[in-house]
Structure 1
């Protein structure tokens, strides 16, 4: 029998077990064991992500399975960060690293910096360095900050025909 109801942003509800939520997420463990007011309530309103993302996260807590796509990956990373789910965040980082390409390397590089995804940052940065000529021709390099561009062009590992 469930003992907690999660109320989602669209006002739909998910019946859950506190013990499952606590085992899967330090966020919920703290909420339910620290004496916080929310921990004693039967209905918990969640608004840290959209309803679909929260549903995916709860399903993951119960099944250990989550469908990662280009469309949902950023929301899942943000949700895993909010819920302090390091193992899920690492799984997401692996997914992102496998999808680094000319059209995504800047975005993933910057996204990795926001969420401290160190391996993704390195992977995207190394990709930019190794494909710099192609990157400059077809990528949106103007999305890079001045500091990021300076970091790239000053790197000794930059694969460029010349520095002009």
Structure 2
């Protein structure tokens, strides 16, 4: 019904990053039972209700397609996300924006299996994806020595010092709880990296309050 656009009564218009405009037909009834945001949108005198058009300029068309497929079919297509995890982050953004709880949970589950740990953690923090954030934090903590050498981790302090401090706090807690599980040499290397990052973060962002951010 959705892919054939039979009887559609509203249109998603996607204009993302100056790319060619992409349109998807949809049914108000389906959208309203799936999302309290869409329900409010179509029950009031908002422009989307008056024009029967929902303009999306902050998410790519493929993620909008995946969202609509989920709303109509009840299944999240994983292959596009596995090929390009940024699409998954965009779906997570849409699920949070339109308060589609079950889609958010399914997207979290797919994303937590991917290897882009720092970017996934940042997205989970930004979009209040509680389960995904917990899993990502634990993964980053368990692989701290390796991940702390990546460009993504080094940029985390600039883009999101609050989240970096959260990571470092968890690492400290784990180190205090399980010191017997670390070999001496690895422990020394680990703490050298950790201490450097902690001091650098304190010096660089002392007194600053920066907004959370994630690269597009």
What TM-score, normalized by structure 1, do the two folds share?
0.80
Quote the residue 1:29 is aligned against: 39
| Root-mean-square deviation over aligned CA pairs | 2.5
Asked if 1:12 corresponds to 2:18, the answer is no
Evaluate the alpha carbon distance shift between residue 97 and residue 17 of structure 1 in structure 2; reply closer, same or farther with a 3 A threshold: same
Matched ranges for 1:1-150 at <5 A: 1-9=7-15, 10-68=20-78, 69-70=81-82, 71=84, 72-99=87-114, 101=115, 104-136=116-148, 139-140=150-151, 141-145=153-157, 147-148=165-166, 150=168
Shift of 1:27: 1.9
Q: As a proportion of its length, which structure holds more helix?
A: 2
Evaluate the alpha carbon distance shift between residue 36 and residue 119 of structure 1 in structure 2; reply closer, same or farther with a 3 A threshold: same
Structure 2 portions without partners, runs of 5+: 1-6, 158-163, 193-216
- Number of corresponding residues: 160
Q: Tell me, what secondary structure is at the counterpart of 1:95?
A: helix
Q: Tell me, what secondary structure is at the counterpart of 2:59?
A: coil
Which range moves more in the overlay, 119-128 or 2-11?
2-11
Q: Tell me, what secondary structure is at the counterpart of 1:154?
A: helix
Shift of 1:57: 1.4
What TM-score, normalized by structure 2, do the two folds share?
0.63
